[in-house]
Amino acid sequence: MDFNNIAHKYDSWFLTPLGSYVDRHEKEITWRLAKPRAGEKVLDIGTGTANYLLELARMGLDCTGLEVSRKMISRALEKSESQGLNLKLVHAVSEAIPFRPNHFDLVISVTAFEFFSSPEKAISEMTTVCKPGGRIVIGILNKWSLWAIRRRIITWFKETIFTHCRFYSYREMKRLTGATYWGTAVFAPPWLPKFMLPVFEFLEPYLQKAAKPFGAYLVVCKKL
């Protein structure tokens, strides 16, 4: 998938009511597992337009992002400069991370793993550049969610960014990563009307426990 084609409109969805709900709950559970701390060195693999990396910068972390799309990098730089935040952005692939071993305290990747050509190699690279005692946190689109099912059905009829991606379950991610900690978020269905959002805002913390395998967003954490 050529993400250069969507770089100009990538952030606009997060400004919608549903997009804002999704973004907020995805970040909340990601930070809960990642436990970012000011002063730490973090690498965000598949950083896109730096949605997560900018928030980590605001928390006081030393932020580096890796991205395959040059237009995404350009957009991320525009955002960081307008907000007065310092990001180090590198054009590279997840299967060949250009940093020395044991360099980062925290390695994250959010909704990018599904598009990696060699997930096993990517995990090996993440492990290499992460310090002993560090954390690797990967957020993905959950295979057993209504969102994934809808996206897969749509690809039967037309080309989308999800046509060539792979959705994963927790069992598959645990087998790949050896992760111990995990959780899911975002239980509102993708077709939810705006007036129903407050209902799912209220239900979200309960569903994260009662319907844990089925949230749209799945995040796993491996501690080294």
The per-residue pLDDT for range 180-217, each reduced to its tens digit, is: 999 999 999 999 999 999 999 999 999 999 999 999 99
- For residue 6, give Cα distances in angstroms to 70, 89, 160: 12, 19, 11
User: What average pLDDT does the segment 42-50 reach?
Assistant: 96
The per-residue pLDDT for range 70-97, each reduced to its tens digit, is: 999 999 999 999 999 999 999 999 999 9
216, 148 Cβ separation under 8 angstroms: yes
- The pLDDT-based confidence of 161 (bands split at 50, 70, 90) is confident
Percent of residues, the chain, with pLDDT higher than 70: 96
Asked whether residue 52 carries a pLDDT value surpassing 80, the answer given is yes
- The pLDDT-based confidence of 11 (bands split at 50, 70, 90) is confident
Domain span holding position 187: 3-223
The dihedrals phi and psi of 119, each to the nearest 5 degrees, come to: -60, -35
Number of domains in the chain: 1
CATH code for the domain in which residue 131 is found: 3.40.50.150
What integer best gives the mean pLDDT of the chain? 94
136, 126 Cβ separation under 8 angstroms: yes
Cα separation, 56 vs 51, whole angstroms: 9
Tokens at 113, concatenated: 């793993």
The dihedrals phi and psi of 212, each to the nearest 5 degrees, come to: -50, -40
Task: Look up the pTM and report it.
Answer: 0.94
Asked whether residue 164 carries a pLDDT value surpassing 90, the answer given is no
